[in-house]
Structure 1
Amino acid sequence: MAIRDILVHFSEDPRNGAKTDVALQIAQRDGAHVTALYTLPPPQHLFYMGEYVPPEFYQRQIDEARAAAKKAKAEFEAAAAKQGVVAEWIESERLPVEAIETYGRAFDLLVLGQPDPDPENPVLVPSGMDVLPHDISLRAGRPILTVPYAGNYPKIGHRVMVAWNGSRESTRAVHDALPFLTKAEHVTVYCINADRSRGTPGAELARHLARHSVKVDVANTVIEDMEAGEALLSAVADRSIDLLVMGAYGHSRLREMVFGGVTETILSSMTVPVLLSN
């Protein structure tokens, strides 16, 4: 089982290079094609602080956005050519969530960036970018690999942790992650405060993964004075994990979807790439 078609999202983002490196790393491993989808930011409206702004200002924003896209395209294509990966470039003027949802359903894997957890000016964050992995994981129907806002990740998927609770979402995440799990040096099935009434939590999943020739162990932990997301992040650090696999959990609507506490903690404080699936 291998990943053959990857979509990586670009924008006016200093982390485009990190996302490129991750996508090309996976593409080299699996012989995949990589498509970059660049979403052009919409220009600001023509009124600012109650005063009229001339059309020239509007056009300048458009020109600057297209110049940034052109620069990002050249860097992406050069990196892909250097790595010997077949690559393609797409630009869209649609909002990021809409563009990725529309294009992304025809790909094996979507690579996105973690939103800046502490932007200098939240007002200037483009619409939807502050919750992009959250929304896409619930809407696209494809696995989402989210790259942290900081750091470089030259090795992804060597030591993998699966956050397992037996739910539909975590089940889907495990099977979406099989292209990574079957190639990993080691996989840990990690269970927190699991129900032991049916035996050893995670044992059935471990047996299933072993039949796929996955090198796997099960870790069960009980926590009382720590939030589950924090416990996961701590275990990731303690075990030198380089990829976390977990289900994405959505609950009642406020604006789009309000995430469960564990998912929200991981997406706001991730230290390694996270594969999300719903």
Structure 2
Amino acid sequence: MSESTTCRFTHLAACPDPGRTAHRMRSTSMPTLSLFDAHRAPRPLPEQPRGITSRLQSQGLATIEGLTTRTAVLALAQRVMRLEPHRDSDSDELTTIQDIGRRSQQSGLGGLGNGELLPHTERSSEPHPPRLMLLVCLRPATTGGEVILTDGQAVHGYLAERSPAALEALTLPNTVFYGDGGGHPSQVFTRHPGQRTSIRLRQDSLAAFSPLISGYLPQLRQAINAVQQRLTLEAGQGYLIDNYRWLHARTAFTGNRVCLRALGTPRFPMPIGFPQVAPSQVHTPAAVGGGTP
């Protein structure tokens, strides 16, 4: 995609949306433990990852605990995925996620700061983003730093029921460009054979949206806000997500929060994306997690 074409696209931050501030990063009323417990993989780990793989295959999400050292995190990551290096990863291909100060204000380095991160797909600007992402908390924040997880299937179902025109527009090919000049043209939703769909999204300065879909971004944000769920991680707790199904985000924080992240390809078969569901099958987050407000 040429630079002139990219410049005709709309950056999300510039899209008018009077409700954005009110909706931004506001989670649903689902209790934290309901989300974690609903997807918790049985221990011990990493010797028996079968519980993790079955949850990833069916729901695209597994929550884990008891990983209190870098060695334990790496062992689990190597059992479930073929690790892929990242620009910021260390020699063992794990990335230490912590506040690096003013340098995090550079484009594309927001994850290494202490600010808010909006729901996004990891490495969305790559032609083929990593399929799996593991994130484990080694040291919680003093305040904030909560995880926000959004199921792309729930977003898709919400739009199918309430804004079908927006859903169709967000599926149009090559209507968004992720990254800088070396990024990748794509679309928010991609349809695959077998009635399956994947989601790809970022909402920072490295996302440029075509005029064909920029008018539907408020509906997309509304859908994300309606179904996203909040998760507070203690030391040793974490989650594994299907990066083609789940969006992840983070609230701003204070203190020396430290997490480890692994990216890679699953060592077990996984159908791509998520099955499309009829609008009548869409559940609220509380129903999915088995909790009550």
Superposition TM-score, scaled by structure 1 size = 0.26
Higher strand share: 2
Max radius of gyration: which structure?
1
Q: Identify which of structures 1 and 2 has the higher relative contact order when contacts are C-alpha pairs closer than 8 Å and 6+ apart.
A: 2
Superposition TM-score, scaled by structure 2 size = 0.25
